Structure 1
Amino acid sequence: MASDTNVEASTTSLAPILRLPPEIFSYFLDHVPASQLQRTALALHQVFPDARVTEEYLWRYVTVRKGEQLVPLWHAARRRRERVEREGMRARVGGFVMESWRGDADILNNTLRCLPDIPVLCLNMGTNFAPEHLAEMFQTHRPTMQRLELRFKPYVEQASYYQFLKGSYFDTAIEMLTQRWPESPTFTRLAIIQEIPPRTKRPAPTFSAGTTASTADASTAVSTVASTAASTVPSSQGSPVILPDSLNADVAALDLGSDEEVPAEPVAPVVEPRGYTGHGPFEYLGDKLAWARPKTFAQPIVFFDIKCIARFGAAPAARHLTHLRLRVPSRDVVSLLLAPPGSTYFPSLTYLDISTTNVRLDGILSAMLRQYEQVEHLVMDRVNLFGFQAKDKGAELCRNLGGLIPSAGLARGKDRERAIAMWDVADRTRAAIAQAEAVARANHGGGGGGGGLRREETPIEEASRQAREAAEERERQLNLARARRGHRSAGMATFSLRNSNLRRSSVSAAGSSAAAAGVILGPPDRLYLILPPLPALRTISVGGEARLSAIQAREWNAEFHAGWREGLAKVAGWAAHIGERYERARRKADEWAVQELRATESANAAGKGKGKAVLKVPTARPPTDIRLYRYPLPGESATPLAGPTPSDPTAGLVQIDPEGSTYLAIYKDRQADAELYANDNSNPPPCVLCTVPDCEGPPRRGDEGGKVDGRGGMDGIHAEGCGHMVGRRTWGWEGM
């Protein structure tokens, strides 16, 4: 009886905050940011041991901030997996973040094997992380994977065997994703980042007196609050609970599992690196050999054969990727992203970040924009897009960039029309050859007995034979004229520019098979026209080209949108031209149908009377199968259209049946929106241009031979709604 009284007295003596139900703590934890959720849940668990904080919050976002935390975390994850399998409950981890650049890679793989269902995986890989470890990690497909971020930092202070002599690179990890991972609709985000190589000269850290004083005041305030809380918060036994000075994730890992103690294991001491000194790997050479001592040495690289990224782009695992961040300093990545004809890389891409790579404002950028037609956000920070000419010609180059983006859609529509023309010629050639072979077999079968009568030629066959004979006669006359040529002077041209039309070269090549088979193709019966697509790009970031003032940034932005309006006017003009061709072709087809109907009626009327009917039909038959297509709008899914053959080039387009010129209204609306933004900025910009970088870049060698540092300029104000803001919401902790 006395013991019950003591228990009731101790319970009533607890502070009211210690008697809160667990649902209150769960409500508080739901509003904690993802980066601080694990520490906050652990702090509540330690300060309020009787609060029964749900274990779900401790495992929702597992974070490793020190390499020493991997061993206790592995034991806790193993016990948790055994308990889940024994009790048959469902427990998942919302994300795993490896913030430390150090740690045992084998222990990390063992830990991840205990956590198979991880939708978000972010890894920092330093010098102790081998390509074999990463290949082992991705050897088994993770069906629940949604986002994968890999950051590489293999730089060392001294040359070692592994980085310089073994010749092992991280290409094997990308190849493992290409070969082992199947198509997954949930896997939509991938980031492959190689950190900037270290520099020999580091910028000196700057500290202000105000910052130092505020930091000291903050630390003093935190210590005061911690000491006050430790003296006032009682535990369940009535003794105060001491708040920890720093809530590390290694303590969290020890407390995540059961109450059993984890046996202490010897951990190898970790030596903090001294940083890159720039003296190279031969510091043991004496002063007499100082002339032979290299001052620097080449740092190890991450990808030896960067084409592995292109092979991954064509793999099934990359089919549903919508966000791709690919940062490989000073490497040519854009040319690898261009797929050869007949194949496609990253077909669902809408966000592309290729910062710190090498990109130039030339044809290769236009080719990339033509291929990735669905990209809405393009980030190109520190890529040297303007080739060290940004200071003198930055505004002019921005105007060229603004006009290049809409013009890429114009070229895309023309390329599709050429592909359709080649497909039409090839299809008609196959049909003509098949018909000629059928006629030859019929003639051979009719005269096989020796006494059979020869079949009378139809008017179409007679016209084809006459055209073939005329072509043969014309070729014979040309050969005869060439044979009669005498001495040719040096000033006489040996070729003709009339036969070098690039637009007709592909069609002529497609029709060469018909000429080789001796088949004369008639006029085409199909005419498929493609409206040029409007630019889908909404943001573009070219930070790091030059340090700009506010006035210069506004000038670059104005010139960019001026070029955008010029390119948009070209697209609208070509769309109007396509519309005129479509209407003209429809009128000719209708006139042909009327004339053919009248000729048939006249022949029928004349056949009833005396004499022979004369059928008068126009000699040139226009196309009668006329169709108009457009590209799908952003957010619109176009179902593949069923064509005459499985390789129909119109697949993925949207066929429209216009009435009047309503299909041109969208081009006029886009032009009006661009003009409204240019006049009084009352309308949002058609494409947001940001000139403030969001990352550091590699040092480059300028035109005059001097090195251009890729740092600085990151303290500017970003444009509202730019691609950097989209990237921050996609990657890192904000994307959780």
Structure 2
Amino acid sequence: MASAIESLPPELYIAILSYIPPQDLQRTVLSLTRAAPRSPIPAYLIFEYVRLTHGDQVFQLYRRLRKSPEDAERVRHFTLECWIVDADVVVNLIALLHRMKEMTLFIGPNFAPEHLEDMFQKPKEGLKLISLRFRPYVQRATYYQFLKGAYFDSTLIAFSRWPAADLPTLSIVQDPLDPSIAPTKFAQPLVFFRLDPLSTLACSPFLEDLRHFRLRVPARQAARFLYALPNALPRVELLDMSTCNVLESDVEGMLGRFGCLRALVLDGCYIVSQRAVADGQDAEEALGHWAALGKMMALAGAKYAREREKRLKLWIEASRERAAAAQAGEEAVQEQAPAPRRARRGRRGLATATISLRDSPPKDPVPLPKLPAGATAGRNLLNQRIRILPSLPALRSLATTPPASVGPDKHDTIRAEFARGWSEGIAQLCAVRARLRTSWGNGVRIVRIDPDYEADEEDGDGEDGLAGLMDVEDERAFVIKTQAPENPDENAERGSDKESEMLGIDDGSCPVLCLAGPGRKEGHVDGCGHQLGWEVWHDEI
């Protein structure tokens, strides 16, 4: 006689198992099939979320999927959490999985760059998450990688060659060197030798829609390669660069470039100078560094606007000079053109040319810059003054690590100083916008960053001329919302949130500052980047 659990219908099992977390689904289904072998448990759920933690499991799964291709098509989430494994088998196993949504791989010392080159040579469609975690450290000294030049730079290049895709989440992490795992008496293998492929990757079509990016290269200055080129990471909202060597100037550059960035995680990055806790410096002066950080972050958009204005001015001047040179050349040709000779009578020889190249006017070898079409083209772009409206960072959360000597009892004070500096930056930015508002009323052309701009081949690098800029056509675009209006009339003047977004009205509220560090523990601020990352990355590293 069947037990009560074995008499349940398959639909009820599916409903019950839908409440199991994905990372525990495989183990739960296996346990149920062993506890109730006669029950109609849908065995295919074992392959929905595959999590391997031992090296021998890789070959076992590969052998099973080779015999049952239909089971390989059921794999949606694949996670390999094992450092010692046969890399060739892993490559062959990944080649069988064509319908993955999420892929997490631990890259240990058994992997060579050639393995990842074979794995990512062809684009894998449908992926929503790619997570690569590198730990190539060894117990015994080996100079194979150094002699051969075996670095994983080619992995970044391979990703940059993939076509545009709807990939919202990408994680590339190199674990810091832990003396308890590998000795530090000799040079350990490097993961990335050069970081300039990061610039190519950040501007590649594959990352056009990327919203969550975690990049950790311990002690390396990787941030500057992300924002070095225009149109890099145009949709990124959550950026985690913990353990990297990130400077204050890098924070300013990222906030100026990444217009959609809402959460920035910089654990282990001492963006506040270590001089803030140096001996002989009083506490008030040390806290002033956090206020300076807040002010700098609030004004990051203003600095980027000034740099963009300089480039726009040079572009207009160069266009004006080239246009004048082209016009002067045409007039000179018309004035110096000789009178046509009279045709002589007689028979022409066969070698007499019927056309002349000497009379052809000189041509500019480089085409003139493309001028905007439509209404703006009629404003005589080359003779007008153009100013760029500085925008506020979209940042809502900053997570960083204070110096080791700063305890949790000082975190509230640090947040207050950070907010004070942010408010000073907002006040300064309001003054700049007020002056531009007056200039706009006097007829000066004011433009702002176009949040929906997508560069094409004709726009060059995306920052030539007015590429990526749009005209300010409403006076409310100069407004900065510093707090919720108490007067309903003010609310009507500013418009709804959706309308404010269309007009480019910035929200000047200070981002939350989390100083708790990684891991689930006390001290995290609600809505901080750590909490967002736990949901996105499915881990707590």
Listed as ranges, the matches of 1:233-312 within 5 Å are 275-276=181-182, 278=183, 296-312=185-201
- 1:55 aligned to 2:43? yes
Contact 1:638 1:654 (8 Å CA) reproduced = no
Which residue of 312, 334, 340 maps to 1:442? 334
Query: Whole-Å Cα distance in 2 between the matches of residues 733 and 542 of structure 1?
Result: 18
Counterparts in 2 of 1:373 and 1:572: CA distance versus 1, 3 Å: same
Counterparts in 2 of 1:424 and 1:194: CA distance versus 1, 3 Å: same
Counterparts in 2 of 1:106 and 1:150: CA distance versus 1, 3 Å: same
Structure 1 match to 2:89: 107
Counterparts in 2 of 1:390 and 1:37: CA distance versus 1, 3 Å: farther
Which residue of 646, 657, 661 maps to 2:473? 657
Structure 2 match to 1:561: 419
Q: CA deviation at 1:30?
A: 0.7
TM-score by length of 1: 0.60
Contact 2:261 2:393 (8 Å CA) reproduced = no
Structure 1 match to 2:100: 118
Contact 2:255 2:393 (8 Å CA) reproduced = no
Contact 1:386 1:394 (8 Å CA) reproduced = no
Q: CA deviation at 1:33?
A: 0.5
Q: CA deviation at 1:574?
A: 0.7
Please list the CA deviations of residues 338-373 of structure 1 after superposition, one character each: whole Å capped at 9, or x if unmatched: 425xx4433332221111111222x34323332223
Q: CA deviation at 1:715?
A: 4.4
Listed as ranges, the matches of 1:406-445 within 5 Å are 406-445=298-337
Query: Whole-Å Cα distance in 2 between the matches of residues 639 and 173 of structure 1?
Result: 26
Please list the CA deviations of residues 270-295 of structure 1 after superposition, one character each: whole Å capped at 9, or x if unmatched: xxxxx54x4x8xxxxxxxxxxxxxxx
Counterparts in 2 of 1:26 and 1:305: CA distance versus 1, 3 Å: same
Query: Whole-Å Cα distance in 1 between the matches of residues 48 and 33 of structure 2?
Result: 15
Query: Whole-Å Cα distance in 2 between the matches of residues 720 and 644 of structure 1?
Result: 41
Contact 2:392 2:508 (8 Å CA) reproduced = no
Q: CA deviation at 1:312?
A: 2.3
Structure 2 match to 1:469: none
Which residue of 370, 374, 382 maps to 2:256? 370
SS of structure 1 residue aligned to 2:264: strand
Which residue of 692, 697, 716 maps to 2:516? 692
Query: Whole-Å Cα distance in 2 between the matches of residues 170 and 571 of structure 1?
Result: 43
- 1:34 aligned to 2:22? yes
Q: CA deviation at 1:421?
A: 2.1
Query: Whole-Å Cα distance in 1 between the matches of residues 471 and 445 of structure 2?
Result: 7
Please list the CA deviations of residues 197-222 of structure 1 after superposition, one character each: whole Å capped at 9, or x if unmatched: 122xx6xxxxxxxxxxxxxxxxxxxx
Structure 1 match to 2:388: 530
Counterparts in 2 of 1:28 and 1:581: CA distance versus 1, 3 Å: same
Structure 1 match to 2:482: 670
Structure 1 match to 2:440: 582
Query: Whole-Å Cα distance in 2 between the matches of residues 425 and 360 of structure 1?
Result: 34
Query: Whole-Å Cα distance in 2 between the matches of residues 554 and 647 of structure 1?
Result: 41
Q: CA deviation at 1:150?
A: 0.8
Q: CA deviation at 1:410?
A: 0.7
Query: Whole-Å Cα distance in 2 between the matches of residues 631 and 314 of structure 1?
Result: 18
Amino acid at match of 1:368: M
Structure 1 match to 2:449: 631
Structure 1 match to 2:2: 14
Counterparts in 2 of 1:171 and 1:104: CA distance versus 1, 3 Å: same
Query: Whole-Å Cα distance in 2 between the matches of residues 356 and 429 of structure 1?
Result: 48
Please list the CA deviations of residues 523-559 of structure 1 after superposition, one character each: whole Å capped at 9, or x if unmatched: 9632333211122111111125335444410110000
Query: Whole-Å Cα distance in 2 between the matches of residues 430 and 424 of structure 1?
Result: 10
Q: CA deviation at 1:379?
A: 1.0
Contact 1:543 1:694 (8 Å CA) reproduced = no
Structure 1 match to 2:502: none
Contact 1:314 1:344 (8 Å CA) reproduced = yes
Listed as ranges, the matches of 1:274-353 within 5 Å are 275-276=181-182, 278=183, 296-340=185-229, 343-353=230-240
Contact 2:426 2:508 (8 Å CA) reproduced = no
Structure 1 match to 2:347: none
Query: Whole-Å Cα distance in 2 between the matches of residues 381 and 302 of structure 1?
Result: 20
Contact 1:382 1:545 (8 Å CA) reproduced = no
Amino acid at match of 1:556: I
Q: CA deviation at 1:733?
A: 5.9
Structure 2 match to 1:384: 270
Query: Which structure 1 segments of 5+ residues have no match?
Result: 1-12, 85-89, 203-274, 281-295, 451-509, 511-521, 587-625, 674-682, 696-713
Contact 2:17 2:25 (8 Å CA) reproduced = yes
Query: Whole-Å Cα distance in 1 between the matches of residues 484 and 390 of structure 2?
Result: 18
- 1:542 aligned to 2:400? yes
Structure 1 match to 2:129: 147
Counterparts in 2 of 1:526 and 1:117: CA distance versus 1, 3 Å: same
SS of structure 1 residue aligned to 2:274: coil
SS of structure 2 residue aligned to 1:18: helix
TM-score by length of 2: 0.80
Which residue of 178, 181, 184 maps to 1:198? 178
Q: CA deviation at 1:54?
A: 2.0
Query: Whole-Å Cα distance in 1 between the matches of residues 318 and 439 of structure 2?
Result: 23
- 1:720 aligned to 2:526? yes
Contact 1:77 1:115 (8 Å CA) reproduced = no
Counterparts in 2 of 1:722 and 1:656: CA distance versus 1, 3 Å: same
Identity within the alignment, %:
31
Q: CA deviation at 1:128?
A: 1.7
Counterparts in 2 of 1:135 and 1:647: CA distance versus 1, 3 Å: closer
Contact 1:390 1:546 (8 Å CA) reproduced = no
Counterparts in 2 of 1:381 and 1:332: CA distance versus 1, 3 Å: same
Amino acid at match of 1:529: R
Contact 1:568 1:671 (8 Å CA) reproduced = no
Q: CA deviation at 1:35?
A: 1.2
Amino acid at match of 1:79: K
Structure 2 match to 1:221: none
Counterparts in 2 of 1:644 and 1:652: CA distance versus 1, 3 Å: closer
Q: CA deviation at 1:66?
A: 0.9
Query: Which structure 2 segments of 5+ residues have no match?
Result: 342-367, 369-379, 486-506
Larger radius of gyration: 1
SS of structure 2 residue aligned to 1:335: helix
Counterparts in 2 of 1:663 and 1:144: CA distance versus 1, 3 Å: closer
Please list the CA deviations of residues 679-698 of structure 1 after superposition, one character each: whole Å capped at 9, or x if unmatched: xxxx9963011111117xxx
Query: Whole-Å Cα distance in 1 between the matches of residues 127 and 153 of structure 2?
Result: 21
Counterparts in 2 of 1:560 and 1:163: CA distance versus 1, 3 Å: same
Query: Whole-Å Cα distance in 1 between the matches of residues 196 and 322 of structure 2?
Result: 38
Counterparts in 2 of 1:644 and 1:355: CA distance versus 1, 3 Å: closer
Amino acid at match of 2:292: N
Q: CA deviation at 1:19?
A: 0.8
Structure 1 match to 2:356: none
Amino acid at match of 2:528: C
Which residue of 163, 169, 173 maps to 1:182? 163
Q: CA RMSD in A?
A: 3.2
Counterparts in 2 of 1:128 and 1:546: CA distance versus 1, 3 Å: same
Amino acid at match of 2:206: A
Amino acid at match of 2:2: L
Please list the CA deviations of residues 119-176 of structure 1 after superposition, one character each: whole Å capped at 9, or x if unmatched: 2110112222222212211112101122111111111221135456544222222233
Query: Whole-Å Cα distance in 2 between the matches of residues 332 and 557 of structure 1?
Result: 26
Q: Which has the higher contact order (CA 8 A, sep 6+)?
A: 1
Structure 1 match to 2:493: none
Counterparts in 2 of 1:547 and 1:191: CA distance versus 1, 3 Å: farther
Structure 1 match to 2:353: none
Contact 1:569 1:671 (8 Å CA) reproduced = no
Please list the CA deviations of residues 286-343 of structure 1 after superposition, one character each: whole Å capped at 9, or x if unmatched: xxxxxxxxxx222222112232323322333233322211111111112322425xx4
Counterparts in 2 of 1:655 and 1:56: CA distance versus 1, 3 Å: farther
Amino acid at match of 1:156: V
Query: Whole-Å Cα distance in 1 between the matches of residues 483 and 276 of structure 2?
Result: 28
SS of structure 2 residue aligned to 1:28: helix
Contact 1:416 1:649 (8 Å CA) reproduced = no
SS of structure 2 residue aligned to 1:689: strand
How many residue pairs are counted as aligned between the two chains? 476
Q: CA deviation at 1:190?
A: 1.5
